[in-house]
């Protein structure tokens, strides 16, 4: 699992409205979500009545993460350990979650262009790969103060993550243990959920942090 870089080790509390755009032309799609992030938890929702995710940083090993998927339609809470998150392509560790989907290694070869923009009182600087190729992230507008991206663009997949709004606080209630928020919901691990729902088990896995 990736180490958590210094710029994401103790990020500020933020709430953001995020759009993920992919494809071009008639194949283009847009996914909208709301993200509440602290230094220890990340909550993601895809709209009222839709599924929710709560990612929790391991207090003993800050590189590690676990998660709960809240499925309101089935009134169920599905618990994911780090291996299930990794094999499901959801997150390799906390570093993949805390940076709004930006993988830390994306910055390794990037260089600032000198251009900047602001959102929610934060300044974002454009960073680009000198020679982008393959499926790599091509461009990241990053704020060190917010420890978050304004935009992330990937060349080959024509995908883009865009923050539509940003504010420096969170609704603490969404960060509570889902078992306390929804005491009437069944609590299942991933294996039990798959056994009950078979091919529908991965329904929420396509709606995640990246």
pLDDT digits (tens, 9 = 90+) for 101-144: 787 777 777 889 999 999 999 999 999 877 655 556 788 899 99
pLDDT at 134: 56
- Domain 6-204 carries which CATH code? 2.50.20
pLDDT at 117: 94
Is-contact 91 55, C-beta < 8 A? Answer: yes
- Output the furthest CA–CA distance in the chain (Å, rounded): 53
Enumerate the β-bridge partners of residue 124: 117
Is-contact 138 151, C-beta < 8 A? Answer: no
* Pairwise CA distance, residues 198 & 150, whole Å: 38
**Residue that the structure tokens 């993920």 belong to:** 20
* Pairwise CA distance, residues 72 & 91, whole Å: 22
Domain positions in the chain = 6-204
pLDDT at 133: 58
The CA angle 203-89-37, to the nearest 5 degrees, is 85
pTM, 2 dp: 0.86
Region for residue 47 given its phi and psi (left: phi exceeds 0; alpha: psi -120 to 50; beta: otherwise): left
Q: Split the chain (210 residues) into runs of 10 and give each run's mean pLDDT.
A: 87 94 75 94 89 95 95 93 90 90 75 92 89 70 93 77 93 96 93 64 47
Is-contact 177 185, C-beta < 8 A? Answer: no
* Pairwise CA distance, residues 139 & 15, whole Å: 22
Dihedral sign for Cα atoms in the order 66, 54, 149, 203: positive
Q: How many CA atoms lie within 13 A of 6 on its CB side?
A: 0
């Amino acid at each position: 699992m990736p180490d958590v870089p210094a710029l994401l080790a103790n990020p500020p509390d933020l709430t953001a409205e995020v759009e993920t755009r992919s494809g071009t032309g008639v194949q283009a799609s847009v996914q909208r979500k709301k993200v509440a992030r602290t230094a220890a938890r990340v909550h993601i929702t895809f709209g009222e009545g839709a599924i929710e995710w709560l990612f929790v940083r391991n207090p003993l090993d800050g590189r590690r993460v676990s998660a709960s998927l809240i499925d309101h339609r089935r009134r169920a809470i599905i618990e994911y350990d780090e291996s299930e998150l990794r094999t499901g392509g959801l997150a390799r560790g906390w570093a993949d979650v805390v940076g709004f989907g930006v993988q830390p290694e994306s910055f390794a070869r990037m260089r600032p262009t000198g251009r900047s923009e602001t959102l929610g009182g934060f300044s974002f600087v454009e960073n680009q790969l000198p020679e982008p190729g393959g499926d790599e992230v091509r461009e990241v507008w990053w704020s060190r103060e917010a420890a978050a991206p304004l935009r992330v663009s990937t060349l080959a997949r024509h995908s883009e993550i865009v923050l539509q709004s940003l504010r420096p606080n969170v609704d603490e209630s969404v960060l509570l243990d889902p078992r306390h928020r929804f005491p009437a919901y069944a609590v299942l691990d991933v294996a039990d959920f798959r056994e009950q729902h078979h091919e529908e088990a991965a329904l929420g896995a396509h709606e995640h942090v990246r």
